[in-house]
Structure 1
């Protein structure tokens, strides 16, 4: 059986757009107003932003804990120069 990559799904804008479309169309199909559908879509999108940000930050933190962070050499040179100037 194929395993679903939930991290990829939860951070995908296309997936959230399809969820919002489905939910808002269902609201309208069952007699809800356009205003209600818009409010629900806004709530779903706000939740998607929070979920995507949280997962993204978690992945960055995990890479940092594993020592997988890449430091740009130009940043190191700048920091070293600044430290020398402070002396």
Structure 2
């Protein structure tokens, strides 16, 4: 069985879109208000953007340190 490459998963915009869509669907199923769903989806999108940025910067820094 193959191991999951979490670094690649967390840096994927598709993954974060899936998480936001899943959260929105679950909130709709449990009867949360539209306002709550929008707020939670926004938080997920913000966390995803931060994760992608941090991983991209870490990869860039690692590549730059290899050249020195």
Normalising by the smaller structure, the TM-score range is over 0.9
Deviations 1:48-81 (A, max 9, x none): 111110010000000111118xxxxxxxxxxxxx
Correspondence for 1:28: 28
- 4+ runs deviating over 4 angstroms: none
Give the aligned CA root-mean-square deviation in angstroms: 1.2
Correspondence for 2:51: 51
Figure out how many residues of one structure are paired with residues of the other and give that number: 68
Matched residue SS, 1:2: coil
Q: What is the TM-score of this pair, normalised by structure 2?
A: 0.92
Unpaired runs of at least 5, structure 1: 69-87
> Larger Rg: 1 or 2?
1
Bigger share in helix = 2
Q: Which has the higher contact order (CA 8 A, sep 6+)?
A: 2
Q: What is the TM-score of this pair, normalised by structure 1?
A: 0.73
Unpaired runs of at least 5, structure 2: none
How many Å separate the matches in 2 of 1:17 and 1:34? 18
